[in-house]
């Protein structure tokens, strides 16, 4: 019973953290099919910088660019299309993230409506290319809602660095990137050419 409660809390925290990753909230940024606009949005920012968010009812607005702390600044993953990593990530997502972010990644999991800070819609994110924002995403999953500006937004996302290994955190990010950020069709198209 205690382990189930812990797993649910951990899942809630991950889902809430990923809620803040909703970088394409309705504030003039392009969605997944507009890469040219995404590149314009990124001008003047390094690849490791991503938006912080504030909550405006059910939507998030971009209020500042956040650079991950130095300990995360050089984190980069090279297994974004590794099928085994993605499969491991799916199992982790189902156990740790689904309750808040939902099966479709839209932040509508069974516990989402009971949270102060709505979970991120993982489908709206411009982390379309491996390496773009790796450090930010890894930092968010690792530290959860325990760091600013997310802490003051009442993010319930747990710090998964105490729950998941580094490899497991990358695995769940590979799954999220594949099935929510880019979409399965984009992933299938890219892999069918190999």
Summarised one tens digit per residue, pLDDT across range 129-148 is 555 688 888 998 999 988 88
pLDDT bucket at 188, cuts 50 / 70 / 90: low
Do 101 and 107 contact (CB within 8 A), yes or no? yes
Rg (CA), the chain: 15
pLDDT, one tens digit per residue, over 64-113 is 457 789 999 899 999 988 999 999 999 999 999 999 999 999 899 999 99
Is the pLDDT reported for residue 185 higher than 60? no
What's the rounded Cα separation, in Å, for the pair 161 and 69?
Answer: 15
Higher-scoring residue by pLDDT: 126, 175 = 175
Nearest to 61 by CA among 100, 24, 92, 32: 24
Residue indicated by tokens 């971009």: 62
How far is C-alpha 105 from the chain's CA centre? 10
Q: How many residues does the chain have?
A: 194
Higher-scoring residue by pLDDT: 5, 108 = 108
Apex 1 CA angle, 96 and 107, nearest 5: 25
Q: What is the mean pLDDT of residues 36-59?
A: 36
Give percent above pLDDT 70 in the chain.
56
Question: What is the pLDDT, as a whole number, of residue 44?
Answer: 36
Do 114 and 15 contact (CB within 8 A), yes or no? no
Nearest to 168 by CA among 94, 104, 108: 94
Omega prior to 165 cis, within 30 of 0: no
Question: What is the pLDDT, as a whole number, of residue 81?
Answer: 87
Higher-scoring residue by pLDDT: 53, 130 = 130
């Amino acid at each position: 019973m205690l382990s189930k409660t812990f797993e649910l809390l951990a899942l809630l925290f991950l889902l809430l953290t990923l809620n803040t990753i909703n970088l394409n909230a309705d504030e003039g940024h392009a969605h997944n099919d507009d890469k040219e606009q995404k590149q314009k949005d990124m001008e003047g920012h390094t690849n490791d910088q991503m938006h912080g968010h504030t909550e405006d009812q059910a939507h998030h607005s971009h209020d500042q660019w956040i650079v991950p702390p130095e300990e995360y600044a050089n984190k980069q993953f090279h297994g974004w299309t590794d099928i085994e990593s993605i499969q491991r990530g799916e199992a982790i997502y189902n156990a740790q993230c689904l309750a808040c972010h939902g099966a479709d990644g839209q932040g509508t999991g069974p516990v989402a409506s009971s949270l102060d800070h709505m979970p991120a819609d993982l489908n709206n994110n411009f982390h379309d290319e491996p390496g773009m924002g790796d450090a930010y995403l890894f930092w968010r999953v690792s530290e959860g809602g325990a760091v600013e500006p997310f802490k003051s937004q009442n993010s319930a996302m747990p710090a998964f660095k105490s729950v998941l290994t580094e490899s497991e955190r990358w695995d769940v990010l590979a799954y999220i990137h594949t099935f929510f950020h880019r979409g399965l069709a984009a992933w299938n198209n890219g892999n069918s050419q190999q």
